[in-house]
Chains A and B, each alone.
Chain A
Amino acid sequence: MIPRAVPRRLVRPVTLLRVAIILGVLAIWEGLAVSGLLYRDVVPRLPVIAAALWKLSVTPDTWWHFWVTGQEIGAGLIIGGLSGLAAGLVLGANRLLGRAFEAYLYYLGPTPKIIFLPVMIMWFGVGFGSKIAMAALSCFFPIALSTASGMRQIDKVLIRVGKSFRLNAWQMTTKIYLPAMRAPVVNGIRLGLGVALIGALLAETRLSSQGVGFLIINAYSVFDMPRMYAMLIVLFVLAIGANALIARLGGPNTNP
């Protein structure tokens, strides 16, 4: 799903249209907010959301919650990512193991991971542990599958070069395999980050007393809609930004 580049002759009209769409959506929103057609609190006025966004950004407590969620996602990504990378390398390097186990990863990968939350709570408790486990479980599958697929796409000449230099398994991994499959691995990490974020945040919305997910569900519980919109805006901007940043690291072959 790679959107094509905008042709040069269309750049100016496209920019104008984008600005027009954004302004149009904001105008409709503001119109709905002041019209009274919908509940005022469900669709708050834009200045109210902007004020909530400002208040959120100057409250140190907010950034502490972001820090908590960031730690959970980071730890999950390290655990799930390294396990996924190792599993992908093994499955990609060995044809028999790949054929025996990759189908399980392929079909288990897209199952809804949130249903494992009860199990993770029982295994790791209601605190940090279960959120990290949810993030790790979520990101393991895309990273393992991308790595295994990347291993199989490595140019055979590179592998023969490594073998002719008598590289050991560690040197083959660090000097040949990983550099040669940067794009698929980075793509896997990008996908993994997205699902790790969802895993950790959904777990926080379900059972937690800290983190961004907790803040969102807390704003819902006390019906503070401007704060909830502000949280969601910040979260979406950060998630889409992180996704684009990782895609850039992978070079031109990484799907955006």
Chain B
Amino acid sequence: MPDTILVVVEQREGKLNRVSWETLTAGQALAAETGWALEAAVVGSGVANFANEVAGKKVAKVYAIESPKLEPYTPDAFVAALKQFLSSHPAKLVLMPHTYQVRDFVPKLATALGRAAITDCVGYKKEGDKLFFTRQMFQGKLAADVSFTSDAPWFATFQNGAYRGDRVEAGATAAPVETVNVEIADGVIRNKPQEVFKEAKQAVDLTQAEVIVAVGRGIKEQKNIEIAKNLAEALGAELAASRPICDSGWLPMDRQIGSSGQTVAPKLYLALGISGAIQHIVGMKGARTIIAVNKDSEAPIFEIADYAIVGNLFDIVPPLTEEIKKAKAGG
């Protein structure tokens, strides 16, 4: 029997999280290269619809792992369910998207099984019989190829955007779907989650902006945001920021771009004084064109920038704003 790759997709608030298609794409690529079987699973209560949706893709089988205690999500319930499932459905490799929910339970699941998780991977490499998972280190400055030195199951999570969800292969026919009911004993679930809510009134929808001017720590002080604001106005762009700027209250939370904020893919993204930490990059690497201004030539943002300006943003931006105004005025 060939080894199995199991992709555990994510459903939340009654929807399949679209990032799951990215993980399935990764699973399909790995299955093709290793010759291992590819299966998928959805975990929750009343998740048959999601399982059927996944069964439309090129995958050997889909499981709906069911228990009423799996809704709402808690790490205790999800780990109990998956641990039970994996004991009767052994897998070589278990793949998941590196979402906040997966981060909340996959290390617990791996530990409960005495196994390892390689998290936030951006790809993999197969060299002969050996499988390496590639991940960024030191906030993107370096990359590492990591291997498992433990027994299966191996757990790996993939970073948002590491694979293209739209590249997932459809199946020739619908894959079989099997419901697996799991038992979660009383007392297993210790957390009591409340309703999910959005805090800030979303005054601006950055995902709709064609041009975004974003500021990071390099802006140094709150009063300097004016410089970026002027540029944004001149360009007809929306103003956005990396997390630290919003944490300091210099810009409201709904202007945050990154894993905790908005994910955007505008026509043009100008990153001013942003180093390019992973948590920010995942929120904007889909931009069509990226222009970065940073005084540190080694800043990771330059790895994904189409245009790089290594220099002091306080020197660079004001003349740029003026030049743009001139150009717009017909100069």
| A and B co-occur in one complex | no
Chain A residues proximal to chain B, CB less than 8 Å: none
